[in-house]
Structure 1
Amino acid sequence: MHSDRIQIERRLDRILNERLKPAVYPESVPLTVGRWDAPGEPVPVSEGLAAPFKPAAVGDAWGAPWGTTWLELTAEVPADWAGRTLECVIDLGFAGTGPGFAAEGLAYRPDGTVVKGLHPYNTWLPVDAGSTEVHYFVEAASNPQITMRVPTDIGDVQTAPRQPIYTLSRFDLAVVDLEVRELVSDLDVLGQLAAQVDPDQPRGHQIRAAISDALDAIDLHDIAGTAAAARAILAPMLASPAHASAHRLSAVGHAHIDSAWLWPLRETVRKVARTCSNVTQLMDDHPELVFAMSQAQQLAWISEHRPEVFTRVKEKIEAGQFIPVGGMWVESDTNMPGGEAMARQFIHGKRYFLEEFGIDTPEVWLPDTFGYSAALPQLIALSGSRWFLTQKISWNKTNVFPHHTFWWEGIDGTRIFTHFPPVDTYNSDLSGAELALASRQFADKARANHSLVPFGYGDGGGGPTREMIARAQRTADLEGSPRVTIETPASFFQKAEEDYADAPVWWGELYLEIHRGTYTSNAKIKQGNRRSEHLLREAELWSTLATLRHGAEYPYATLDRLWKTVLLHQFHDILPGSSIAWVNREARDTYAAVAAELEQLIAEALAVLAADGDRELVFNANPHARNGVPALGAGPVAVAAAGTLTPADGGFVLDNGVVTATLDVEGLLTSVVDRSSGRDAIAPGEVGNLLQLHQDVPNDWDAWDVDSFYRHTVTDLRTAETVEPADLGDGAVGVRIIRRHGASTFSTVVALRPGSASLDIELDVDWQERETFLKAGFGLDVRAEDSSSETQFGHVKRATHQNTTWEAAKFEICAHRFLHVAEPGFGVALVNDSTYGHDVTRDIRADGGTTTTVRLSLLRSPRWPDPETDLGRHVLRYGIVPGAEIGDAVREGYDINLPERTVTGGATEVDPVVSVDTPDVVVEAVKLAEDQSGDVVVRLYAATGGRATATVRSGFEAASVQSVDLLERPLDIGQSWDDPAAVTIRFRPFQIVTLRYLRG
């Protein structure tokens, strides 16, 4: 019986692919082809349509990497084809490539209206009934294939070769045999179903028998004449209904499109246009199709660059077929964006969908992001959304996540109804294997029986195809298959939440057990992101104050544009550093331009606030007062006692009265003492700021992954070339250490500023290593059961032990501005200005004490997809804060990222725009309202992990104050206030509260 099964499967495969599929187009004539190769970057559609075309033919080479070729296609319809269904069949040279990862095309009519996209699995163009001639234009993109794990220069237009990489392969006008096409779909579905059903049950045998009989009924010399008879044999198999207990699948058309990855941002604009054109055309033929598209940025792109496509999209949105989802500007990384940036993803995304389409998106849609911050549930709720979807956790390398439908609880206690599609892909083609997998894997089947399947080609775009819809139609009620219903995400979530309201709860972050290297790869991109976030904070703060106090014009449009630029670059393959060289190069340039523009905005606002004069005024954007300068305000320059630097035993001792640090003869930290407690942060026999190199060649995804075996090899950089005092000025004292390894040079300055609780470290490195991981380690004399890593609007605790595989899998973790470890009565914080990757381990010493080792992940040098990743000069800043409680870690984390600004002016001080009477509550943002009403918006959160009561005092006139959500709409938090000048708020741990001060 097994051999019969294999024989039928092989026979079906051959007949389908070699005979039946080609027979869908029984007659064809060649199209006449004209060609124009656009020089340089893509041109506007109008220019492409008017190009000087030259004759071209099948077999011609075309398309240098990243080039554009416009094709003109014409033909007269043969007279004897009148009344028959016709299509153009186009092959740009697709052989061996998948949708979205090589050549693609977008077809236009001569009047500039869009037709649809072309890719390897979608090669046809419709021909209107009754047409006597055909005339199309195709904008063909020669995007190169980027082979996995193979370093290549083809990933940047500046280094890619210029020789053509594709060959024009087929351009035909063809007759369509609709009956044969339906037969192909029948056999496709039944053949895949037969391969999945229980081999011991009758259903599979019955299907295979019917397939065999149908294949016997087909005359391969007269396929058109015998197709109907073959379909009649298969019909009873397709008419047999599904069991009442069959798993139910909500199928949602989808095309996850990476906003940049193995292609640059400019190409994503065209990918979105191609995919949206495919989808809207398919909706014309299949009104039942619904398609979910996230990322407001992508719709904004086609609105700006492809208005003809955007018009079609808006029509389908109004018809309820095209469904905006996600509520975010892009599908961002959620590990590394700061708190305010994460909030702005929702603010800008949801505002776009509301203002452009009148839709308040209820679901957050992040199928491919590399892990999910525990701060997200609260942000989702505050954005007005209620559901969350992802698929990526199925990529876990160590542990299988125990649920597919559950309530996700964040660090503040907010719960969000969440679903992981058990189909384990966001690019399903609705194959029998995938449908069976979804049913088999659904982890909550004891109490629920419903999951979602996103179907359509994605990553590089493409979307659903008519073949997928044919599968959905046939599996809507089919014995042996889950029941498939095409419907909206909201429809699925409403039903799932009603059916499974008592779903289990998962507390804390959704840590992805893969792609941990993305916390470190492409350090300059991380640095650009962190710097941009803090410059935006300052620009908004000082511009708000300049407007309130002096009537200066608030730069609404500029800030809006710059925020959207930063949010775009938080996309989950840009900020993680997992894109081609072209994307990385442009990101670095963009961050530099953003910084320059924000510095100018800040300078203009500070000049207004400082007024004319010649005295020095220090501005402090830190939410905590420092050196006598109030938080969020300005005061005179403080004069603090200078530190001391003393030679000792070949090394040096640094002291500022708050911290005493000792460096040995090789410039390693052997002691960092908190003077208030007398405790030394460095464990006996250990050192701090030990640079360590690890061989770093992961098994699969170079720029994405750090595999645990990287720790098996390590080179400690203990030997220094020079250790000498550093001339720092402003009362700071420091030591400069030079180390070398191979062609790399490491110049470190260890410094103490007057009155500072942090020992500052600046590493200036010329990094020339390849496939190497650089860490900076601190062996701490702390028995810490867990570490606290800053995340958005709070921190997350992770165990330092490896009792279970869940803890062991977190061998590389993400932290923002600080990571804190502590035992009762004493803690230590590591703070940084642009580092995200960390690891924490613990060991017991011979004296019985515990050493907790914290290491910062500073640099990597993977070679794929960008062969030059991280090579060159980097300046990285971090610090150690001995004796730190969690509040100290919060303060010092802000401090290293928000240096004071000294401005010459006439003012003696600038009162804070707002003040808070407890350090447990932090002001994260001060800005004017998005609606340009002039209202002031202040966002605060309880930062230290406990309940807090704070009085917020405003330094400006306001008529009233209200709590609002992220979109600045009124929100009832059970508290209200009569006096806007003094607002007392009760916070739960990590609660975010946004206040809107109405000034009208």
Structure 2
Amino acid sequence: MRFDEKTRFEGRISRFVEETITPALYPERIALDVSVWRVPDEPVPFDEARAATYEPFVMGSPWGVAWSTEWFHVTGEVPAAWRERDLEVVVDLGFHTWNEGGQAEGLAYRPDGSIVKAIEPYNRYLRVDRGTERVDLYIEAASNPDAAVRAEGERWGNTWRQSPYTSKEHRPPTPVYVFRSCDLAVRDHEVAAFAADVDVLWQLALVLPETSPRRASIVAALARAIDVCDPDDLPGTVGAGRAVLAPVLASPAGASSHTLVATGHAHIDSAWLWPVRETIRKCARTWSNVLELLEEHEDLTFSASSAQQYRWMKDHYPQVWERIRAAVADGRFIPVGGMWVESDTNMPGSEAMARQFVAGQRFFREELGVTCPEVWLPDSFGYSGALPQIARAAGARWFLTQKLSWNETNVMPHHSFTWEGIDGSRIFTHFPPVDSYVSALDAEDLDKAERQYSEAGHGTRSLIPFGYGDGGGGPTREMVARAERQADLEGSPRVVLGNPRDFFAAAEAELPDPSTWTGEMYLETHRGTYTSQVRTKQGNRRSEHALHAAELWAATAAVREGAPYPYDDLERIWHVVLLQQFHDILPGSSIAWVHREAEAGYGRVLAECAEIVDGAVRALVGEGDLALAANATPFALDSVAPMAIGAHDAGSGATGATSVVPGADGTVLDNGLLRVVVDPRGLVTSLRDLVADREVVAAGAAALLFQVHGDRPTMYEAWDIDAAYRRTVEDLRAADSVEILAPDAVRVSHTYRSSTVAATLRLPAGARHLDVTVDVDWHEARRLLKLAVPVDVKADAAASETQFGHVVRPTHTNTTWDEARYETVAHRWLHVGEEGYGVAVVNDSTYGYDVRRTWAGERSAAATTIRASVIHGPKFPDPDCDMGEHTMRYRILPGATRADALRHAWDVNLPTTRLTGARAVAPLLDVTGRGVVVQTVKLAEDRSGDVVVRLYESDGGRTRASIRADFEHVGVAVTDLLEEPTGEAATVVDGAVELELRPFQIVTLRYAR
């Protein structure tokens, strides 16, 4: 058709749907009576709401101050003539036309407290049983505000801006919604079926080429169907319209058409633009809708991840939980992912990443009898190279995500492939080529999936998760109707309702030699998530180390002294930490409410871990005056053995002394191993390694330079750092003061606009490192604070710690892939080196870095600049993000190897503790072997009392390890992460376990007692 004909046709179809079909879906309605009870504060149980006093509510009135709950009591008589007809209660709480999961929602109850289903923006009906004489329902309505404050009709985009709804305390007092209607309506199912016919064909016509014969036949059929339908009597003529469309709907797909395996899905962020308490209700609402839909459509399956969300149902909604259990047993409701939550994978520490799977798989096994064979992370912000090994060790065979379709620069070259981790482990991986985990199964999505499938010619299928998501909602009956019509439809890929496990098995079988992607899967966007919400990130880091110490000392006390092991407490604490590693909490991309709750949770975690450690250590050392030092790290950095409590001689340790000498050209710190010059501007102009006799600071540069960049991402403030930030920079090159604090310490203070930035440099006696404590009082929005350390090292690559090892990234920008990694993530240490010499930077709470080769002119060799991202300061979705006081610690290690960096990372993050007692405590384990790190010592998850030891090779090379246990045991087995035997026999020689470890290999040993 010519353009004007095309426009007229689309207009005619659109008007026919809007003016004729849609009103006829509910041809008869009567208004129901509604009364209201406004909950004074937080949500209450149904029994309390039912007993409350309700007031009449006038339809069309405003309701719901942001984050409040109002209960509506809906009543009305069913006309006698309607009682054998198909009836529904249809509710409009004042829904918007965008952001289906970030606005008002409701959950309906019968008077006996049984749950009916939910009311949501695209799922507004409640079925009424035939024969019902009177409607009597209670609707718990949640006034969740649209915290994104977008323009009408705009789903995403740069209209995201500061919202007044980021916390309950600062919300406006005015209602957010207007309750528009609540009707008892007759549902015309034949008209609904006709609506689905028209919908599928109209969408298909829009994606087919205009010259396509198939498109022409569809257009002609739709035109004829409109002609034969009487707008004044659609129910009476809809059969003729459907008969016209039947032949084009019956035309089968081509023999080579792509197959899309469609599984119902509802991505429910465990927190984001709403608090955790609202996520619990979102799960109940979405999953109650899904359970009803499963009863109506026997071919439909639904996939849902996150053991935490299932646990919430068990604890808070036992009705929903029992129905889920039954549907899981029936193979219809499918737990996927095997993790506690869909966590971030860049920043959780080694053991925490493992525990996401340990806790998740354990819950699914014990409560639902299921072990999840796939990892399900459609929306996490990049994927650590350690994940393949961790996932395989937790029982997973397959991995799913689609987030890398968001890459800003490069396109991932595969959709079904093998992903190889840093240790060489491989896992079959799928990126749904639809580039979405919230598909509505419309023709545009189907066409996109078929066009983009990279393995075409070798593979024939891909997965398509469908259903409203992010804030939940899930699949709808309209989506299922599309799937049924697209099962075998000319011009469309085939749609098969199925489940992920059948898909993965078939996809893997048809690709016996898939392509391989090696190493981390870096997301080329959302780079700001390594830095946003400093307090949340600090809480995570400190909680991880506190748990390490708590488990170690509690296990030692249990084995040595028979002290009770705090299984319940440790499990509960771990669950808090794992929840807060969700991919919108730890990355710092949630509203203020979420992060303030997270920070409070971390406070409780640290206090409880301290209590566990104190109780265990006291049981071990007894009461006495002997000076002791407790070292919970795998490395000894002073006189105390690793993972032991030894006598501490106050005079032992470092030798020599540090001197500080002020002068006109700067202040000099010197301990005989390093000499540091701090000039009057507060910059380190020289850091001389006296042992190696070489200057560490790059020629013509200065270290410990604070730099401030303008930081206004185009779209997602808390998530992104756009490449353009580098074009504007202000260097803090004029200190307010340079003070000598002690013989080994100098403090440099700066003022920047309304903020202060101070660095305390300490050069300990006998130490070959410089400690830097940064104190920031930050009040600058949309500005990124960096700390630069330019070093005279020609490093082709930088090594950054990740889980159970490290990842190596180029420092150059030879390719677009290299150039796109302008902001990267590291855990506790980052190392750059050339042959024979390296420099490391260790941190206690920083994750974001950029590392680039630099050039100081013809007379200087290439150098390397390491810059730590200290503060991000976005305004959305938390307008107070990163404001206020913060303290971070760094350690600069000249002449360091990567192994040195790891040892000091433990010391900075989990320093030795001084105490007094009656006796020293020898370690439970004596471990020898280059690069072998004991990550965890604990008692077994099954509460048998067995001791579990997790260790790994940390250098990236092959090594031999010998592990001698200093406690009674009756045998030792090599297990997976789930603490079940792998079948690999443990070699024991003279009472010690002997291991040969591959690069970065994780080994878990279980000692039976």
After superposition, residues 276-675 of structure 1 pair within 5 angstroms as 276-638=287-649, 639=652, 640-641=654-655, 643-650=657-664, 651-675=666-690
Contact 2:637 2:903 in 1 (8 A): no
1-side partners of 2:458 and 2:178: how far apart?
A: 54
Contact 2:96 2:103 in 1 (8 A): no
Contact 1:782 1:821 in 2 (8 A): yes
Report what 2:17 is aligned to.
Answer: 16
Report what 1:84 is aligned to.
Answer: 85
The yes-or-no answer on 1:694 pairing with 2:709 is: yes
Letter in 2 for 1:330: V
Structure 2 regions of 5+ residues with no counterpart? 151-159
* Identity over aligned pairs, percent: 51
1-side partners of 2:619 and 2:597: how far apart?
A: 33
After superposition, residues 768-783 of structure 1 pair within 5 angstroms as 768-783=779-794
Q: Rate the CA distance shift 1:642–1:666 in 2: closer, same or farther, 3 A.
A: farther
Give secondary structure in 1 for the equivalent of 2:921. Answer: coil
Letter in 2 for 1:39: P
Q: Aligned-pair distance for 1:538?
A: 0.4
The yes-or-no answer on 1:115 pairing with 2:126 is: no
2-side partners of 1:95 and 1:698: how far apart?
A: 26
Q: Aligned-pair distance for 1:600?
A: 1.4
Report what 2:225 is aligned to.
Answer: 214
Report what 2:970 is aligned to.
Answer: 959
After superposition, residues 856-875 of structure 1 pair within 5 angstroms as 856-875=868-887
The yes-or-no answer on 1:837 pairing with 2:848 is: yes
The yes-or-no answer on 1:995 pairing with 2:1009 is: no
Letter in 1 for 2:356: Q
Letter in 2 for 1:67: S
Q: Aligned-pair distance for 1:6?
A: 2.5
- Can you list the C-alpha shifts for 1:714-747, whole angstroms capped at 9, x where unaligned? 11111111212223xxxx8111111111111122
Q: Aligned-pair distance for 1:599?
A: 1.2
1-side partners of 2:693 and 2:951: how far apart?
A: 34
Give secondary structure in 2 for the equivalent of 1:63. Answer: strand
| TM-score normalized with structure 2 length | 0.97
Report what 2:893 is aligned to.
Answer: 881
Aligned residues: 993
- Can you list the C-alpha shifts for 1:931-970, whole angstroms capped at 9, x where unaligned? 1101000100000111111111212111111110011000
After superposition, residues 196-207 of structure 1 pair within 5 angstroms as 196-207=207-218
The yes-or-no answer on 1:144 pairing with 2:145 is: yes
Contact 1:961 1:977 in 2 (8 A): no
Give secondary structure in 1 for the equivalent of 2:762. Answer: strand
Give secondary structure in 2 for the equivalent of 1:971. Answer: coil
- Can you list the C-alpha shifts for 1:428-447, whole angstroms capped at 9, x where unaligned? 00001000000011111121
Q: Which moved more, 1:459-468 or 1:715-724?
A: 715-724
The yes-or-no answer on 1:825 pairing with 2:836 is: yes
Contact 1:265 1:583 in 2 (8 A): yes
Contact 1:606 1:903 in 2 (8 A): no
Q: Which moved more, 1:529-538 or 1:954-963?
A: 954-963
2-side partners of 1:236 and 1:99: how far apart?
A: 35
Q: Aligned-pair distance for 1:47?
A: 1.2
Letter in 1 for 2:51: A
Letter in 1 for 2:626: R
Q: Rate the CA distance shift 1:915–1:978 in 2: closer, same or farther, 3 A.
A: closer
Letter in 1 for 2:689: D
Contact 2:64 2:143 in 1 (8 A): yes
Give secondary structure in 2 for the equivalent of 1:154. Answer: coil
Give secondary structure in 1 for the equivalent of 2:356. Answer: helix
Contact 2:852 2:865 in 1 (8 A): yes
Q: Aligned-pair distance for 1:19?
A: 1.9
2-side partners of 1:446 and 1:798: how far apart?
A: 33
Q: Aligned-pair distance for 1:648?
A: 4.8
Q: Aligned-pair distance for 1:641?
A: 2.7
Report what 1:984 is aligned to.
Answer: 994
The yes-or-no answer on 1:720 pairing with 2:735 is: yes
Aligned mate of 2:814, from 778, 798, 803: 803
Letter in 2 for 1:877: R
1-side partners of 2:899 and 2:294: how far apart?
A: 55
- Can you list the C-alpha shifts for 1:606-645, whole angstroms capped at 9, x where unaligned? 2222211112101111211121211111222242335312
Give secondary structure in 1 for the equivalent of 2:551. Answer: helix
CA RMSD of aligned residues (A): 1.2
- Can you list the C-alpha shifts for 1:148-171, whole angstroms capped at 9, x where unaligned? 532133110011012111111111
- Can you list the C-alpha shifts for 1:568-608, whole angstroms capped at 9, x where unaligned? 00000000000001111111111111111111111121222
- Can you list the C-alpha shifts for 1:828-847, whole angstroms capped at 9, x where unaligned? 00100000000011123332
2-side partners of 1:634 and 1:659: how far apart?
A: 31
1-side partners of 2:937 and 2:224: how far apart?
A: 73
Q: Aligned-pair distance for 1:649?
A: 3.5
Report what 1:163 is aligned to.
Answer: 174
The yes-or-no answer on 1:66 pairing with 2:67 is: yes
Q: Aligned-pair distance for 1:657?
A: 3.8
Q: Aligned-pair distance for 1:806?
A: 0.3
Contact 1:5 1:208 in 2 (8 A): no
Report what 1:175 is aligned to.
Answer: 186
Contact 1:544 1:926 in 2 (8 A): yes
Report what 2:267 is aligned to.
Answer: 256
Contact 1:694 1:715 in 2 (8 A): yes
Report what 1:100 is aligned to.
Answer: 101
Give secondary structure in 1 for the equivalent of 2:446. Answer: helix
Letter in 2 for 1:691: F
Give secondary structure in 1 for the equivalent of 2:964. Answer: strand
Q: Aligned-pair distance for 1:919?
A: 4.3
Give secondary structure in 2 for the equivalent of 1:312. Answer: helix
Letter in 1 for 2:890: Y
Give secondary structure in 2 for the equivalent of 1:180. Answer: helix
1-side partners of 2:57 and 2:846: how far apart?
A: 53
Q: Which moved more, 1:310-319 or 1:648-657?
A: 648-657
Report what 2:197 is aligned to.
Answer: 186
2-side partners of 1:17 and 1:798: how far apart?
A: 55
Contact 1:649 1:665 in 2 (8 A): no
Report what 2:867 is aligned to.
Answer: 855
| TM-score normalized with structure 1 length | 0.98
Q: Which moved more, 1:371-380 or 1:302-311?
A: 302-311
Contact 2:930 2:960 in 1 (8 A): no
2-side partners of 1:405 and 1:374: how far apart?
A: 17
- Can you list the C-alpha shifts for 1:773-814, whole angstroms capped at 9, x where unaligned? 010001100110000000000000100010110000000000
Give runs of ≥4 in structure 1 deviating > 6 Å. Answer: none
Q: Aligned-pair distance for 1:426?
A: 0.4
Give secondary structure in 2 for the equivalent of 1:931. Answer: coil
Q: Aligned-pair distance for 1:196?
A: 1.1
Give secondary structure in 2 for the equivalent of 1:835. Answer: coil
Contact 2:261 2:495 in 1 (8 A): yes
Report what 2:28 is aligned to.
Answer: 27
Letter in 1 for 2:987: W
2-side partners of 1:489 and 1:183: how far apart?
A: 31
Give secondary structure in 2 for the equivalent of 1:190. Answer: helix
Structure 1 regions of 5+ residues with no counterpart? none
Q: Which moved more, 1:842-851 or 1:361-370?
A: 842-851
Q: Aligned-pair distance for 1:704?
A: 0.3
Q: Aligned-pair distance for 1:548?
A: 1.1
2-side partners of 1:954 and 1:53: how far apart?
A: 67
Give secondary structure in 2 for the equivalent of 1:352. Answer: helix
